[in-house]
Structure 1
Amino acid sequence: MKEASLFLYDHIKEFRSCYALKIGSKKISYEEVLHRALTLSAFLIDNGTNKETIGIVGQRKSSSYIGLLGVLFAGCSFTPINPKYNITKINSIIKSSNIRILVGDLEDILALDKSITSRMLLNIIPDGLFHKKIPNNYIDQSILKSISPLKEPIQSKHDDLAYINYTSGSTGTPKGVKVLRSNLFYFLKNMSNMYQLEKGFRASQMFDFSFDPSVADILFTWLKGGLLCIVPEEELILPSGFIVREKINFWNSVPSIANFMIKTGNLEKNSFPELTHSMFCGEQFPIHVAKAWRAAAPNSTIENLYGPTEGTIYITRYVFTLEDEKKSFKNDIVPIGTPFDYHSSVIIDENDKPIEDSQIGEIIFSGPQITNGYLDDQSKTDMAFTSFNWDSSSLIWYRTGDLGYRNSSGDIECIGRKDSQIKIAGRRVEIGEIESALSRFKKTEGVIVVPLKDNQNIVIGCVGYTLDDITKEQILRIRKDIIEFLDPVFFPKKIISISQFPKSMSGKIDRKKLEIMAKDI
């Protein structure tokens, strides 16, 4: 097994003459990315860094991409910091990760509160110039130019950290997931084995750095010699023009982006003939969205990639074929498929015992992509990463908190979170079941349902949100016709039309915000 950054470097150096990064009209070659990343690595090492965590600040700027690679090449780990975070969250990340150095775009670093940047040992801008007098702890491109780059990345150990990704989890309290270099290596190896791509392919980069699929977009694209095309901020909600303009071949986004394109009439047949691979992740993938995307991208695969951050980005894959369009799947959701190579999955019941195929239980995984737990939180680590008496090999398994089952084809179908069950009138129901029933009707296709709670936080019903205009008469008609698929007690108390779903920093639909909105209705 090769160390992750050396594995990356050995591939990337073969593409020196190709372009690696495209931001707007600006293109940067692999030669330049490598030179600047290795220069940053040398500077970090010269300034005493040793396997420490460094903050990567900002989005969609060349300094952030060069910085991420340079940090890995220096034997350090990175933690993404979004300047849009509130100061409390940024300070919490910096404190728990012991960050002394920030790397990123000048504008993004200056957007941080001065109380943060002033106490840093260094604020480094790999691609950019400080046009005013440079403060003592700022390092810009002009200073880095005088540094001799490393000849190659330094040799790290497999159990050294690659990055720390903060995920809110079901409680809303940020958890720092510790991703090792061995985890990253196996992820990249698996992805590389699954996709045979010609160098120069054009890949999208949609995700915020704080959402770990961004790591896949960046490092996998560069591992295979592709051109990473950055989606501009103003096109994140509706990227159809970007896909066409940039002639994207390898697409990756959350499914709700595609659903919004359907609702706004921007997913017409044969819209994206250049696409060859279309990946969707981060949310449940509705069948109607998969079908619409196939019509828009007839030359593309349609794939559902699933994985908790604790499993290093993606850990299962399902390719939704044309034949699958004739099949029936639970809640009309695309399966998450089967585990990557070197990994195992089991479905367990509420007593932590394995259950038979077709029975619903919690999905758990083991294998080399399972991460090293949570930073400075042994209690949560022990609850989520555990061994079981029935496993004679005493492997560590990660409990995803997701419910699912194996279908007759051996593929896992994920039906939602353990904590997405609600009880109405004394009866339990999965929110996904309500959404699936409502999605059978044109006006509520792609609906998002959230629990409605009273002042004591007791669930008293649910509320549905749709992107379509809907009248009271249409709601009454749906209520009448849905009885065949849904018990009337579970029908939403209100169905509300909104122009677009609120999104979290990661680009997923912000269900918590919708739940708060429901209380105010």
Structure 2
Amino acid sequence: MTSVQQRTLYQWFEESALRQPDHPALEVGDEVLSFAGLRALAMTLAERIVHKHGRAPRRVALVASRTVAAYAGYLAAQRLGAGIVPLNPDHPDQRNLDIAQRAGVEVALVGGRSAGLFARLPERHRPTVLELDEDERADGPVPEGTPPAAYDLDGEAYLLFTSGSTGQPKGVPILHRHISPYLAHNITRYGITPGTRLSQVFGLTFDAHVFDLFATWGGGGTLVVPSATDLYSPVDFIVERRLTHWFSVPSVVREAQRLGNLPLGRAVTLRHSLFGAEPVTAQHVALWREVAPASQIHNVYGPTELAICCTNHRLTGPSARWPQYPGGTVPIGVMFPHMEGVLLGGDGLPADEGELCVRGPQRFDGYLDPRENAGRFLSYEDGGRAVAYDGSAPLTDRHWYRTGDRVRRVDGVMVHCGRLDQQVKVRGHRVEIGEVEAVLRRHPYVVDVAVAALPTDDGETELVAAYAGRAVDPAVFEAWLGDQVPLHMVPARIRRLDGLPLNDNGKTDRNALARILATREGS
């Protein structure tokens, strides 16, 4: 493995800010902030956090939309050495409160419409709340009272919560020493320099946002933030804002195509187009080649636990020359040079097709709740057989993280062949079917429930639920569920059955259920 440069997230930003203070760092709508202006605002907010909280916090929740103040607040937390815990203002309040409490956040930076979120907690459990003004700006020079910057590579950069099979989201802490190798590698790989202009499509609860922010700022580029409306016409946004780099889930492009908002041949400024977080089809990239004829196209892969992405597959030239791969998807490619990957079959031995297991400097050190580490790691050395980690001994750098993804090696590259468990991707979001089922079981009329992930006509994946119990009006049921989980976890259809199909072992027969849900009408 190659050696990589190590910096904290704030250092990646600050070094560019000191080197090129007048260069544009951030564009949100018609507002443009230079690196110096964004740094001054971050320092101002950092001083306000310390003044109100009494000291630098350990973890900071950020509950805000994509405003200048939200980005400055993110940097302010990093400046103080605090791990950031992004919370989506559009997610149910109770879910956000549960996550904040599990994370033990000490300070919450909130946008206007989330100002009252934490007032629901007992005072002794309430974090220090600092409301962000959408028109927040730094007044005057950088404040002198701000504590010295924290440059601890072993400190927590961010804490994200992924869907958990127990019905409770799993906390994934990523340290600066995990994310820094990723940034160092990709800033160089994608040629991010002053003058490059990168999109910021991903929400802040999606780990890919860290690439958007810190690969851009670390390379000295400009972060250009689209509105929700802009994402329905991505090509217009790319052209109008002269973007050089685009990174999104492929469904953004499919939705634009469905709406007739995907003109061909116009995105000529794009040098690199990155897609990830869900399977990327050959049809999708062939279409994008017509949209952005000069762009290199990349399929990137990696779970949150491996600091965003750990593989890359690049496509250049005309689409007619691209090889075809099994399943009609684009390969996830090859491992980053500083990471290690192995495919292990069901017998625990290396295979040409098996579960992808990964280790290296981007691999996290374990879940927020150490009890969730058991079964998610394994020991394996050349010539031996893999042994599952049971949690009885400390994790080490030698342990491999089990991605749960079935991968096949074809012509020297890796091709993703689906999940080994019940985890699926819905509109780019990782969803544990078990978590959705656990929430549905809380409804007082539900006796038994199961959820299936079914393909749609346009190549997406949707969740469909079946339950046994008293009949509930589907619209009422969906509204109830929408108060419990984010929108991407609400099944597209919820049907009542007299009973769920069972297999010979008395367990829910999920294959039979999927057939019923795919063909049966009504509820």
* TM-score of the pair, normalised by structure 1: 0.76
- CA shift in 2, pair 1:62/1:85, >3 Å: same
2:109–2:132: 8 Å Cα contact kept in structure 1? yes
Determine the structure 1 residue equivalent to 2:378: 386
2:271–2:295: 8 Å Cα contact kept in structure 1? yes
Determine the structure 2 residue equivalent to 1:418: 420
Deviations 1:233-289 (A, max 9, x none): 223344333222222211111011112223333223203112111110110000001
2:57–2:106: 8 Å Cα contact kept in structure 1? no
Of structures 1 and 2, the one scoring higher in RCO (CA 8 A, sep 6+) is 2
Determine the structure 1 residue equivalent to 2:29: 24
User: Which stretch has the larger CA shift, 386-395 or 18-27?
Assistant: 386-395
Would you say 1:268 and 2:259 are equivalent positions?
Answer: no
Would you say 1:352 and 2:324 are equivalent positions?
Answer: no
1:126–1:141: 8 Å Cα contact kept in structure 2? no
- CA shift in 2, pair 1:149/1:316, >3 Å: farther
Determine the structure 2 residue equivalent to 1:513: 491
Instruction: Kindly state the Cα deviation for residue 120 of structure 1 after the two structures are TM-superposed.
Output: 3.9
- CA shift in 2, pair 1:243/1:282, >3 Å: same
- CA shift in 2, pair 1:412/1:142, >3 Å: closer
Aligned residues: 438
Name the CA distance, whole Å, in 1 between partners of 2:87 and 2:490: 22
1:256–1:509: 8 Å Cα contact kept in structure 2? no
1:41–1:149: 8 Å Cα contact kept in structure 2? no
State which of 150, 156, 159 in structure 2 corresponds to 1:161: 156
Instruction: Kindly state the Cα deviation for residue 363 of structure 1 after the two structures are TM-superposed.
Output: 0.7
Name the CA distance, whole Å, in 2 between partners of 1:328 and 1:306: 19
Name the CA distance, whole Å, in 2 between partners of 1:509 and 1:32: 36
- CA shift in 2, pair 1:256/1:342, >3 Å: same
User: Which stretch has the larger CA shift, 297-306 or 386-395?
Assistant: 386-395
Instruction: Kindly state the Cα deviation for residue 32 of structure 1 after the two structures are TM-superposed.
Output: 0.8
Name the CA distance, whole Å, in 2 between partners of 1:7 and 1:36: 17
- CA shift in 2, pair 1:51/1:384, >3 Å: farther
Which segments of 5 or more consecutive residues in structure 2 lack a partner in the other structure?
385-395, 426-432, 438-446, 460-481, 496-516
Would you say 1:94 and 2:100 are equivalent positions?
Answer: yes
Would you say 1:405 and 2:400 are equivalent positions?
Answer: no
Name the CA distance, whole Å, in 2 between partners of 1:510 and 1:391: 43
Name the CA distance, whole Å, in 1 between partners of 2:98 and 2:139: 30
Instruction: Kindly state the Cα deviation for residue 374 of structure 1 after the two structures are TM-superposed.
Output: 1.1
Name the CA distance, whole Å, in 2 between partners of 1:115 and 1:144: 36
Instruction: Kindly state the Cα deviation for residue 61 of structure 1 after the two structures are TM-superposed.
Output: 0.9
Amino acid at match of 1:22: E
Instruction: Kindly state the Cα deviation for residue 143 of structure 1 after the two structures are TM-superposed.
Output: 9.7
- CA shift in 2, pair 1:464/1:337, >3 Å: closer
Would you say 1:38 and 2:32 are equivalent positions?
Answer: no
Instruction: Kindly state the Cα deviation for residue 230 of structure 1 after the two structures are TM-superposed.
Output: 1.0
Name the CA distance, whole Å, in 1 between partners of 2:258 and 2:74: 36
Name the CA distance, whole Å, in 2 between partners of 1:144 and 1:17: 16
2:235–2:263: 8 Å Cα contact kept in structure 1? no
Instruction: Kindly state the Cα deviation for residue 511 of structure 1 after the two structures are TM-superposed.
Output: 7.4
- Report 1:32-71 matches (<5 A): 32-45=37-50, 47-50=53-56, 52-71=58-77
Determine the structure 2 residue equivalent to 1:500: none
Name the CA distance, whole Å, in 2 between partners of 1:276 and 1:394: 36
2:41–2:137: 8 Å Cα contact kept in structure 1? no
Deviations 1:269-313 (A, max 9, x none): 203112111110110000001000011101111111111000001
2:6–2:181: 8 Å Cα contact kept in structure 1? no
- CA shift in 2, pair 1:362/1:79, >3 Å: same
Amino acid at match of 1:465: T
Which segments of 5 or more consecutive residues in structure 1 lack a partner in the other structure?
130-139, 422-430, 433-449, 469-503
* TM-score of the pair, normalised by structure 2: 0.75
- CA shift in 2, pair 1:219/1:236, >3 Å: same
Would you say 1:334 and 2:319 are equivalent positions?
Answer: no
Amino acid at match of 1:345: G
- CA shift in 2, pair 1:74/1:462, >3 Å: closer
SS of residue matched to 2:214: helix
Amino acid at match of 1:514: A
Instruction: Kindly state the Cα deviation for residue 43 of structure 1 after the two structures are TM-superposed.
Output: 3.9
Name the CA distance, whole Å, in 1 between partners of 2:448 and 2:147: 62
Determine the structure 2 residue equivalent to 1:10: 15
Identity fraction in percent: 27
1:42–1:74: 8 Å Cα contact kept in structure 2? no
Instruction: Kindly state the Cα deviation for residue 395 of structure 1 after the two structures are TM-superposed.
Output: 0.9
Amino acid at match of 1:331: G
- CA shift in 2, pair 1:117/1:38, >3 Å: farther
- CA shift in 2, pair 1:379/1:151, >3 Å: closer
Please report the RMSD computed on the Cα atoms of aligned residues, expressed in angstroms: 3.4
State which of 66, 78, 82 in structure 2 corresponds to 1:76: 82
Name the CA distance, whole Å, in 1 between partners of 2:487 and 2:251: 7
Amino acid at match of 1:309: T
- Report 1:242-253 matches (<5 A): 242-253=237-248
Determine the structure 1 residue equivalent to 2:230: 235
